């Protein structure tokens, strides 16, 4: 059945992301770490269908562990809809249907994509007509990754990751994602990074509260050069994610042996993103990893942010 077949509903699609670069600094007093990151939206999408209703309700389908996703106020999409209603004085409700493709707790910002999609869908459904600036403000209040899911493309995030600036990126980059059945908790991975740093004394004297993305990362994106990007990509959360989940070491080695230029843990993991030279190489790498029993898929970036598909 076509999604447009639902009367009184709006269908919005929003992308998952990978962090091409993720530098983590010291912790602010509010508990958030200082970040410098480069997000890239990739062609793995969340679909959110918002349907008129007097009450607020939510259902989830799609990925294997969809049943583990909360359907109450803990769900970021539900919080987004209620925040929009409060901000605009809208008195009704909505039913949100989440069709997930982004792995849950995979380090790819699936919940943030759902929240961004819910904001855009409810704004259209309810006719509240918020300005892009106002939508961005609500998104930032929902979570550090939500503004990026609204905008998509390739962007530098600083501050807590929520201060976004578009990054120039030429052409397209081909990625192979290897997902895992069991997710990793983002707060636990940050806590492990703090513990590891305290033990080794790294950053103990002067944890930076303001960081920049290294120039070679930005140059590689601007040049559309996958070899240069493969050499420059980096993630401070990779160490803690790999110690928490040692199989990630094997997966990275397998992907590189299969012909990927490099592999990196995405966000807080456990998804691994392999950068490949071109689409044909990515198809080969994905096929070889699948033959080895991994869940691997070929995606590309950058792609658009949250967008209405049908209303
Ligand atoms: P990030 O990389 O942004 O930290 P993630 O991609 O690793 O996040 P998500 O799938 O966004 O992880 O969500 C992690 C947890 O948040 C889940 O385990 C779930 O309990 C809760 N959650 C709340 N809302 C959602 C949602 N819409 N989809 C998935 N998980 C959600």
Ligand 1 centroid to residue 115 C-alpha, Å: 10
The answer to whether residue 28 sits within a structural domain is yes
145 is catalytic: yes
Bridge-partner residues for 15, per DSSP?
A: 45
The answer to whether residue 267 sits within a structural domain is yes
Of 130, 153, 168, which residue sits at a domain end? Answer: 168
Ligand 1 centroid to residue 257 C-alpha, Å: 31
Pocket of ligand 1 (CB under 6 A): 69-70, 74-77, 98, 104-112, 114, 145, 183, 186, 267-268
Same-domain pairing of 215 and 101: no
Percent of the chain at pLDDT > 90 equals: 82
* Burial 281-310, CB ≥16 within 10 A → b, else e: bbebbbebbeeeebebbbbbbbbebbbebe
Of 118, 134, 168, which residue sits at a domain end? Answer: 168
Q: Quick check: pTM over 0.90? A: yes
Q: Residue 4: its pLDDT value, please?
A: 43
Q: Ligand 1 pocket test: which of 104, 146, 180 has the largest number of ligand atoms within 8 Å of its C-beta?
A: 104
Q: What is the mean pLDDT of residues 55-82?
A: 94
Total domain count, the chain: 2
Task: Compute CA distances 255 → 5, 106, 213, 239, 292, whole Å.
Answer: 41, 18, 26, 18, 10
Tell me if the bond preceding 235 is cis, omega within 30° of 0.
no
Same-domain pairing of 97 and 221: no
**In angstroms, rounded to a whole number, what is the distance separating the alpha carbons of residues 39 and 27?**
21
Q: What is the pLDDT of residues 85-119, one digit of tens each?
A: 999 999 999 999 999 999 998 899 999 999 999 99
**53 close to 93: Cβ distance less than 8 angstroms:** yes
Ligand 1 centroid to residue 138 C-alpha, Å: 18
Q: Residue 202: its pLDDT value, please?
A: 66
CATH code of the domain covering residue 75: 3.30.230.10
**26 close to 203: Cβ distance less than 8 angstroms:** yes
Please name the residue ranges forming H helices in the chain.
76-88, 110-126, 132-142, 146-151, 186-200, 215-223, 226-232, 238-244, 247-257, 279-291
* Neighbour-count burial of 201, counting CB atoms closer than 10 A to its CB (0-12 exposed, 13-18 middle, 19+ buried): exposed
Task: Compute CA distances 62 → 4, 42, 110, 119, whole Å.
Answer: 19, 18, 12, 20
ipTM field = 0.94
Task: Compute CA distances 165 → 144, 152, 223, whole Å.
Answer: 14, 11, 18
Q: What is the pLDDT of residues 151-191, one digit of tens each?
A: 999 999 999 888 899 999 999 999 999 998 888 998 999 99
Q: Which domain holds residue 243?
A: 173-301
Of 141, 168, 195, which residue sits at a domain end? Answer: 168
249 is catalytic: no
CATH code of the domain covering residue 232: 3.30.70.890
């Amino acid at each position: 059945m076509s999604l447009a077949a639902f009367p009184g509903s709006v269908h919005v699609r929003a992308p998952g992301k990978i962090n091409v670069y993720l530098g983590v600094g010291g912790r602010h007093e509010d508990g958030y770490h200082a970040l410098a990151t480069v997000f890239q939206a990739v062609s793995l999408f969340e679909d959110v269908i918002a349907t008129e209703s007097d009450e607020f309700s939510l259902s989830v389908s799609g990925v294997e562990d969809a049943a583990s996703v909360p359907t109450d106020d803990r769900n970021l999409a539900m919080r987004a809809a209620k925040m929009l209603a409060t901000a605009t004085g809208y008195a009704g409700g909505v039913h949100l249907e989440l069709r997930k493709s982004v792995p849950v707790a995979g380090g790819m910002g699936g919940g943030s994509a759902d929240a961004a999609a819910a904001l855009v869908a409810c704004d259209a459904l309810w006719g509240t007509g918020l300005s892009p600036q106002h939508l961005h403000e609500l998104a930032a209040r929902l979570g550090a990754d939500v503004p990026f899911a609204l905008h998509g493309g390739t962007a530098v995030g600083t501050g807590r990751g929520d201060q976004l600036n578009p990054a120039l990126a030429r052409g397209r980059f081909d990625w192979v994602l290897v997902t895992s059945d069991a997710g990793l908790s983002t707060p636990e991975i940050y806590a492990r990074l703090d513990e590891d740093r305290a033990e080794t004394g790294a950053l103990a004297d002067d944890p930076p509260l303001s960081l920049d993305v290294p120039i070679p990362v930005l140059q590689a994106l601007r040049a559309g050069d996958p070899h240069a990007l493969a050499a420059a990509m980096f993630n401070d959360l990779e160490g803690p994610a790999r110690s928490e989940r040692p199989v990630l070491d094997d997966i990275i080695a397998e992907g590189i042996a299969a012909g990927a230029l490099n592999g990196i843990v995405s966000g807080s993991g456990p998804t691994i993103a392999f950068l490949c030279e071109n689409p044909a190489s990515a198809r080969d790498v994905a096929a070889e990893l699948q033959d080895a029993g991994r869940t691997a898929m070929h995606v590309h970036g950058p792609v658009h942010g949250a967008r209405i598909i049908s209303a």
